[in-house]
Amino acid sequence: MNATHDQISKVLSSIGFSSLNALQEETLEKSQAAKNVLILSQTGSGKTFAFLLPLFLNLDPNAKHIQALILAPSRELAIQIEDVWRSMRTNLKVLTCYGGHSISTEKKSLTEAPAVLIGTPGRICDHISRETIDLTKVTQFVVDEYDKCLEFGFDDQMSYINEEFRRLEKVTLVSATEHKEFPPYLSFDQPEIINHLAFAEDPSIHFWKYPVRNQNKFERLFDLLCSFRGELSIVFCNFREATESVCAYLQENGYDAIVYHGGMEQDERERALIKFRNGSFHTLICTDLGSRGLDIPEIQHVVHFQFPQSEEAFIHRNGRTARMKANGSSYLFMNPDERSPDYLNVPREEFKLPKEQDAPVDSPWITLYFSGGKKDKINKIDIVGFLGQKGGVAKEDIGLITVQDFSSYVAVKRKNVRDLLAKIRPEKIKGKKLKIDVSR
């Protein structure tokens, strides 16, 4: 690996790090000579950057073909990996392909091969069958959350993808759990193991027992969420129907929450996460789809409205809070008439609501939709300048901005949003007239 100190320093500066952490240092060192690498580290430990940095340093900037393929079991995780890669500012093309995304848009982007291709197994197989990608010159192959890929039954798809490789030099498997079964078709022999699970500090999670009865479960949830006073929370349910029912009850009673589950269209799921990440909604009501792949470090509260079927799912749910050495709380809805799961052996104390019940807290942010994005050569700086010059919006009143291929979403302060829309709707951004509205 012809890694230089200057290259690493430049990437660190771009991503906002002052130095590599222990996991990233060890991965960088051991990846230099190893053909097979196994990275085991807890969620939130920086393992995405840990595998992306050595991958980047092994790329040829002058090559015109796909050099690295990264598989992820979910669309959300694939997008998250792309976000980290883009923050590195490598000037090398990356493309992410996944179900629910426009296949025609992906085919058009693939006419110029990316250096790094990220995707879900099913969509990558789709492109192979359509002959829109050529993996014969790929030298690096990464499978993130490979244990979940096996669990989801992606085995046949990953085997099909693996048959396309001709020049593969390095395979990296990544997991947040110690999984000892390796896909046989990978010939994953004598891997260099980087195991930081044993060194990981237990997250600082305070577990609360919250007494409920079936007849008052919805009301008790409403009261609990109001007591958080606008701090970010995730409420976990076991079924899609339950998430919809919970969210509908909360909204009918004046509490703004947003739902997230696998039955939603992909663009609906993406919008839900965007609006939760940027603070337009304080609470996400979701199935276990939200227990993996969501990297939102500010979540203070996890609520188990229904207990999952397994201890592993329980652990992953709780992993959404107390990230990056922060503190968090987990609330266990305990019905004395029902038996608790056998895995529920964590120390806990009873949570008591404040004597004076809090009213729902409205978010100060709201999300605006712009009908233009990367393919229209629009970036975050363009949007900030447009809102400032045409709408008179101060920088501190502009929140998180997400720019997608053909659309953009920006959080702005909710105050005077009607006046703001009246000012900016007639105006052009980079010479283009876009539809601008409150995101639905």
Q: State whether 232 and 325 are in the same domain.
A: yes
Res 59: pLDDT: 95
For 144-174, write each residue's pLDDT tens digit.
988 877 767 788 898 999 999 999 999 999 9
Q: State whether 18 and 166 are in the same domain.
A: yes
- Rounded (10°) angle between helices 155-162 and 121-130: 40
Taking the CA atoms of residue 255, residue 242, residue 175 and residue 170 in that order, the dihedral angle to the nearest 10 degrees is: -100
Does some domain include residue 163? yes
Q: Domain boundary residue among 287, 320, 350?
A: 350
Report the CATH number that the domain containing residue 57 is assigned in CATH.
3.40.50.300
Res 358: pLDDT: 82
With cut-offs at 50, 70 and 90, classify the pLDDT of residue 337: confident
Res 185: pLDDT: 82
| Mean pLDDT to the nearest integer, 342-371 | 89
Does some domain include residue 73? yes
Does some domain include residue 260? yes
Res 2: pLDDT: 45
Residue 365 in contact with residue 278, Cβ under 8 Å?
yes
Q: State whether 211 and 337 are in the same domain.
A: yes
Asked whether residue 338 carries a pLDDT value surpassing 90, the answer given is no
Res 1: pLDDT: 43
Contacting residues for 399 by C-beta, under 8 A, at least 6 apart: 278, 279, 365, 410, 411, 412, 413
Q: State whether 214 and 250 are in the same domain.
A: yes
Q: Domain boundary residue among 140, 164, 195?
A: 195
**Both tokens assigned to 19:** 């130095």
Contacting residues for 412 by C-beta, under 8 A, at least 6 apart: 365, 366, 368, 387, 393, 397, 398, 399, 420
The least confident of 60-64, 76-80, 363-367, 407-411 is: 76-80
**160 burial class (0-12, 13-18, 19+ CB within 10 angstroms)?**
middle
Res 324: pLDDT: 54
The least confident of 37-46, 72-81, 240-249 is: 37-46
Residue indicated by tokens 């998430």:
243
Q: State whether 12 and 127 are in the same domain.
A: yes
| Mean pLDDT to the nearest integer, 19-46 | 88
Q: Domain boundary residue among 145, 161, 195?
A: 195
pTM: 0.71
Asked whether residue 102 carries a pLDDT value surpassing 90, the answer given is no
Q: State whether 29 and 176 are in the same domain.
A: yes
| Mean pLDDT to the nearest integer, 241-256 | 96
Does some domain include residue 357? no
Asked whether residue 293 carries a pLDDT value surpassing 70, the answer given is no
Q: How far is it, in rounded angstroms, from Cα 255 to Cα 251? A: 5
Q: How far is it, in rounded angstroms, from Cα 128 to Cα 134? A: 7
Number of Cα atoms under 13 Å in the Cβ half of residue 285: 25
Does some domain include residue 355? no
Q: How far is it, in rounded angstroms, from Cα 150 to Cα 156? A: 9
3-class SS string, 378-428: CCHHHHHHHHHHHHCCCHHHEEEEEECCCCEEEEEECCCHHHHHHHHCCCC
Q: State whether 42 and 187 are in the same domain.
A: yes
Quote the DSSP letter at residue 185.
G
With cut-offs at 50, 70 and 90, classify the pLDDT of residue 323: low
Q: How far is it, in rounded angstroms, from Cα 41 to Cα 145? A: 11
Q: State whether 162 and 88 are in the same domain.
A: yes
CA angle 163, 168, 172 (to 5 degrees): 100
For 198-237, write each residue's pLDDT tens digit.
665 556 788 999 999 989 999 999 999 999 999 999 999 9
Q: How far is it, in rounded angstroms, from Cα 226 to Cα 362? A: 10
Res 346: pLDDT: 79
Report the CATH number that the domain containing residue 399 is assigned in CATH.
3.30.70.330
Res 132: pLDDT: 96
| Mean pLDDT to the nearest integer, 27-56 | 90
Does some domain include residue 426? yes
Q: Which domain holds residue 249?
A: 204-350
Contacting residues for 89 by C-beta, under 8 A, at least 6 apart: 11, 14
If you average pLDDT over every residue of the chain, what do you get? 90
Q: State whether 180 and 210 are in the same domain.
A: no
Res 201: pLDDT: 55
Please state the domain count of the chain.
3
| Mean pLDDT to the nearest integer, 361-376 | 94
Q: With pLDDT > 90 as the criterion, what percentage of the chain qualifies?
A: 65
Asked whether residue 408 carries a pLDDT value surpassing 90, the answer given is yes
Q: How far is it, in rounded angstroms, from Cα 241 to Cα 256? A: 18
Whole-number Cα distances in Å, 304 to 75, 208, 209, 239: 24, 10, 10, 12
